[in-house]
Chains A and B, each alone.
Chain A
Amino acid sequence: MEDSIVRETVVAAPVQRVWEVLTQAEYVGRWFGADKAEIDLRPGGSFVMTWAEHGVGLARVERVEEPTPSSPGLFSFRWAVEPGLEPKPGEETLVEFTLAEKGDGTLLRVVESGFSKLDRPAEKQEWHRERNVDGWRQVLEAVAGHFTG
């Protein structure tokens, strides 16, 4: 079984615009379904998402490579599995976005990896589970629907 999840989509907008939506805090909160997002957009910078319901999700920016006419964009961060935790080995996954020009639009790809390295004591995994149950998904769908509907 693969230790990563790869998803991609084609966006009918220029690479630069997708990069803005992907990396600017005002947009990140929206597509992540968070009430608030703060990003210090540089390697090692902190990335904080606040949910009224779940608490504060902490991530650390790994790579920031703005797209140029000759090179694709790359934005990655290490994401702690539970609110309030600092990302660190055993309690984080790596999320990596790449953006590349495709026709008039943008090929946007995300890879989340590192699931086999998760090593949380079972009794501390409540939110991690909750993050993956349908209730959480419904929140995201509601948010996604709000923007597409």
Chain B
Amino acid sequence: MTLVDPGPVFAALADPTRRSVLTRLAADGAASATALARELPVTRQAVVQHLAVLDAAGLTRAHRHGREVRHEVRPEALTGAARWMTTIARQWDDRLSAIAAIAEEPRADDARSE
């Protein structure tokens, strides 16, 4: 099991247009930059740039379909980032439990008087 580096994934998803692109690709399947630009309120050039960021984060990949380059979702990176978040959350749960245990244990001077 490998854990992806979440930085690029979170950075990629921080932009609302990229989230729209990803949502569109996830819902309706592979599409070209030209097709995406028709559906979204941005230029084709902007879509191409956003797709490059999504590609670099491992969230999408491009493949040639005839004369067109189409882009599709790769869900693995998203799953990886979610798993990474879960792992970090568990680590904090462990630390909070440790803080609670220490705060709740009898103080040293109390223990001596027992």
Contacts and interface: CB of A to CB of B under 8 A. Distances in A.
Contacts of B105: 147
B101 A144 contact: yes
Nearest to B2: A129
B14 A144 contact: no
B27 interface: no
B14 to A, nearest CB: 5
Main DSSP-derived SS at the B contact region: helix
B87 A137 contact: yes
A85 interface: no
Residue among A30, A115, A119 with max Cβ neighbours from chain B (10 Å):
A115
A1 B13 contact: yes
B96 interface: yes
A107 B107 CA distance: 20
Contact of B97 (A5, A133, A137, A144): A144
Contact of A9 (B2, B3, B91, B96): B96
A70 interface: no
Contacts of A30: 98, 102
Contacts of A144: 94-95, 97-98, 101
A115 B57 CA distance: 14
Interface in B2-17: 2-3, 5-7, 9-11, 13-14
B102 A27 contact: yes
Contact of A7 (B11, B81, B89): B89
Given A12-B104, A13-B104, A108 B96 contact: yes
14 contacts: A7-B96, A8-B96, A11-B104, A17-B103, A18-B99, A21-B99, A31-B99, A116-B10, A116-B14, A120-B7, A132-B88, A133-B3, A140-B94, A143-B94
Interface of B: 2-3, 5-7, 9-11, 13-14, 78, 81-82, 84-85, 87-105
Interface of A: 1, 3, 5, 7-9, 11-13, 17-18, 20-22, 27, 30-33, 106, 108, 110, 112, 115-120, 122, 125, 128-129, 132-133, 136-137, 140-141, 143-144, 147-148
Q: Which 10 A-B pairs have the closest CB atoms?
A: A116-B10, A118-B7, A31-B98, A147-B101, A13-B103, A7-B92, A11-B100, A9-B96, A140-B94, A144-B98
